[in-house]
Amino acid sequence: MSTSKLVRQAVHSALLASTAAVAGVAPVYAADEPTNIQEVVVTGSRIRIPNMESISPVTAISEEDIAATGKVRVEDIVNQLPQAFAAQGSTLSNGSTGTATVDLRGLGAKRTLVLVNGRRLMAGTPSSAPGSSAGAADLNTIPAALIERVEVLTGGASSVYGADAVGGVVNFIMNTRFEGVQVDANYSFYNHQNDNSSAAADAVRARNFALPDSSVNTGYTKEFSFLLGSNFADDRGNATFYATYRDVDAVLQADYDYSACTLYSGDTFSCGGSGTSFPGRFIPYTATQEADLTFDPVTGVVRPYTSANAYNYAPLNYFQRPEQRYTAGTFLNFDVTDNVNSYAEFMFMRDESVAQIAPSGSFFVDAVFACDNPLWSAAQRQAFCGNFGLNTANGTTDTINMQVGRRNVEGGGRQQEFAHESYRAVIGLRGDINDAWSFDVFGQYGQASLASVYHNDFSNTRLVRALDVVRDSSGNIVCRSVVDGTDPNCVPWNIWSPNGVTPEALNYLEIPLVLTGKTTEKIVNASVTGDFGSYGVKAPGAETGLMVNVGAEYREETSDLTPDAAYQSNDGAGQGGATLPIGGGYRVNDVFLEARMPIMEDQPFAKSLSAEAGYRYSEYNTDWQTDTYKLGLEWSPIEDIRTRASYQRAVRTPNVAELYSIQQVTLDGTVDPCAGATPGLTLEQCARTGVTAAQYGHISPNSASQYNGFFGGNPDLEPETTDTFSFGVALQPSFAPGLRVQIDYFDIKIEDAIQ
């Protein structure tokens, strides 16, 4: 490979200090003294340059910085940077996909492109809905022990890497030429002292909820990594192998005093919860009457339901999901000739994780009850029927409509098991054609599969049958469906008596829900880089000439998700809606061009002045065509100061879920724009949803902050476009060695956003 010119002093890498220094993570800097090194590629460009300068706002985190953090999860390393926002990870349980993702600038993980050695990392899981993580890469695939550095570029980079680099790019540079043997082992846990009198803990005490022990050790984590690398064939080749194992224990919200109850904020903290409660909330109603009732879990005495009876769903939720992860892989490099290098990469990952949230149950199922229900006490018959003027005598045919909200506390929390397996293989050839031209061509294949089982959820169908009970011809209390033959396996769910729920009833009511699927990515890429300075194409005031990179790429993305019949029919009581199958994909052909031109070097008031530009044209088999481009300028008037400005046009293509997921009404969000005293939408807009003028401004918000919506995919979607402007100033005063200050401004605007 060609060697480069001398490295300039560390002022040129001040950009790399940028936000990382603010975040407490030291960036990578070039050496202070000139040193002979190979040319490198910095994220945001395919052009190899003799230093780590970048006109784009790139932050680099070195291997030493990563070790100093003590973090064992890749997402935790990246999330320390202020550019990154929390996304999918081990600390997310409700709504988890079992993956770890990164979200730059808060634009969503689907708008952040993840690279390994400058090449795409495939989507980590097939998505069941077009949410913020659909199509995002899974960072669990990346072995932290082999990371040489992480480069984070914020702002669009589609002209260099293709679609989806809207919020930015996170590029994991791996040590592909490791030599020796390295074994690392880590053991950690969380310790918390629950001995404070905080407002949150006081709220827990006020509701007589259980507080955790005064000192808690939890979330034990064990991590092991093994690296083995060696040169061969007279140092013309290198083989690097890695294997890692991670075992993480769960952390429950019950372990912390400030999370032992469902907190409502306001002037003072208070404990709230869910109306789907224990021993239950019962709303019998007729056309003219309604009651809101519960009963004592010990005595069975019926009484009015109040907010004090809300179910505390917090303790069983996971702060940290339990997980086991295995990774293994190899990186191979071999110099075929003095100027041509062949390379190959193979990465494997298996991750098993469990997400847990509060128990399932009857989420206000609307059922019809016979007033002579044999499981009811006399007081319950009177409260549910007698008070409505209905006959409660045995043999009566009177019935009452009633909504039942009751938690399955006997069955425990809802748990979703995730098992992901991913494979990624790359094979390529790169080298020098002559002194002016070099090339790089590679093929890449990646696949991630999902197998998921949801436990402890109730069947909606079985729930209605288990609540409808009668006496059979022998006087036994059985389900009506047993008597009429509809469901001979039905077991009554006796929620009306203390300790009335039997294991047999739970075995009948609880059903598993199963998901399987996979995503696949195929890429072929070829490019050539030319140094036109060898032909004398250079600015009069510069030593370095025009550098150009030209190439083409083919990429294919497919994804499919197959839920079982219970998922598709919305038979899971705690699911919020049906989970429907998704399948599809797209292909894209790209051509791209990038140029970098030093204008002035080592001149008065211009230690360096450089410009860059890039363009990519993409043609999709879905009848889209997109253009992306970039322009940038970098100026260092003196060694101590470096300024830069850039403009990027980026695109994000709709992913498979956004294109092909089936449209449906399901649990969609936490806000009703037509609710409250001052609705977010106008009367005309809300009228389209059925709201009358009399109702407008008088609709109470949902106490659970859970609303249904109509959403799904749309095959007619077109790519969204983004314009990013960024400006930066890097200061490295010579009178203060080691001090580096970076100030960045960015403005990102998305047009035709796919939400």
Tokens at 658, concatenated: 């956004």
- Is-cis flag, bond preceding 279, omega within 30? yes
- For 530-552, the pLDDT digits (tens) are 999 999 999 998 888 999 999 99
Torsion of CA 544, 546, 549, 550, to 10 degrees: -160
- Tell me the three state secondary structure of residue 139: helix
**Cβ neighbours of residue 503 under 8 Å, at least 6 residues apart?**
none
| pLDDT of residue 468 exceeding 70 | yes
pLDDT-above-70 percentage for the chain:
92
Q: Could you give the CA distance from residue 47 to residue 45 in angstroms, rounded to a whole number?
A: 5
How far apart CA 742 and CA 163 sit, in angstroms, is: 28
- DSSP state string for 235-295: TTEEEEEEEEEEEE--EEGGGSGGGSS-EE-SSS-EE--BSSBSS-EEEEE-SS-B--EEE
Predicted confidence at residue 583, as pLDDT, reads: 93
CA-only gyration radius of the chain, Å? 31
pLDDT band at 81 (very low <50, low <70, confident <90, very high): confident
Residue 8: is its pLDDT beyond 60? no
Q: How far apart are CA 638 and CA 702, in angstroms?
A: 60
pLDDT at position 10 over 50: no
Dihedral in degrees, nearest 10, Cα atoms 653, 656, 660, 662: -120
Task: Give tens-digit pLDDT for 331-390.
Answer: 999 999 999 999 999 999 999 999 999 999 999 999 999 999 999 999 999 999 999 999
Read off the pLDDT of residues 596-650 as tens digits, 9 standing for 90 and up. 999 998 899 888 899 999 999 999 999 999 999 999 999 999 989 989 999 999 9
Compute φ and ψ for 507, nearest 5 degrees.
Answer: -60, -30
Q: What is the DSSP letter of 701?
A: P
What whole-number distance in Å separates Cα of residue 88 and Cα of residue 736? 40
For the segment 262-278, what is each residue's pLDDT rounded down to a tens digit? 887 667 788 888 999 99
- pLDDT over 80 (residue 20): no
pLDDT tens sequence across 560-587: 999 999 999 999 999 988 999 999 999 9
Gap between the Cα atoms of 331 and 375, Å rounded? 67
Asked whether the beta carbons of 293 and 495 are under 8 A apart, the reply is no
What are 104-148's pLDDT values in tens digits?
988 989 999 999 999 999 999 997 766 667 789 999 999 999 999
Interior/surface letters 690-724, b for 16+ CB within 10 angstroms, e for the rest: ebeeeebeeeeeeeeeeeeeebbbeeebbbbbbeb
Close Cβ partners of 520 (under 8 Å, ≥ 6 residues apart): 122, 445, 446, 447, 556, 557, 558, 559, 585
2 pLDDT band, cuts 50/70/90, is very low
Q: What is the pLDDT of residue 68?
A: 79
Contact 458, 513 (CB under 8 A): no
For residues 447 and 514, the answer to whether their CB atoms sit within 8 Å is no
Q: Rounded to 5 degrees, what are φ and ψ at 208?
A: 60, 30
Predicted local confidence at residue 752, as pLDDT: 93
Length of the chain: 755
733 alpha carbon, distance to own chain's centre: 40
Q: Average pLDDT of the chain?
A: 88
- DSSP label at residue 528: E
Q: Contact at 8 Å (CB) between 413 and 456? A: yes
Contact 40, 60 (CB under 8 A): no
Cβ contacts of residue 428 below 8 Å, gap of 6+? 342, 343, 344, 440, 441, 442, 443
pLDDT > 80? residue 37: no
Let me know: does 246 contact 323? Beta carbons within 8 Å.
yes
Residue range 518-538: mean pLDDT, rounded: 95
- Residue-level pLDDT at 36: 42
Q: For residue 478, which of 499, 492, 496, 498 has the smallest C-alpha distance?
A: 492
CB distance 117 to 523 below 8 Å: no
Cβ(48)–Cβ(120) below 8 Å: no
Contact 479, 468 (CB under 8 A): yes
pLDDT class of 700 with cuts at 50, 70, 90: confident
pLDDT at 39: 57
- List pLDDT tens digits, range 396-428: 889 999 999 999 999 999 999 999 999 999 999
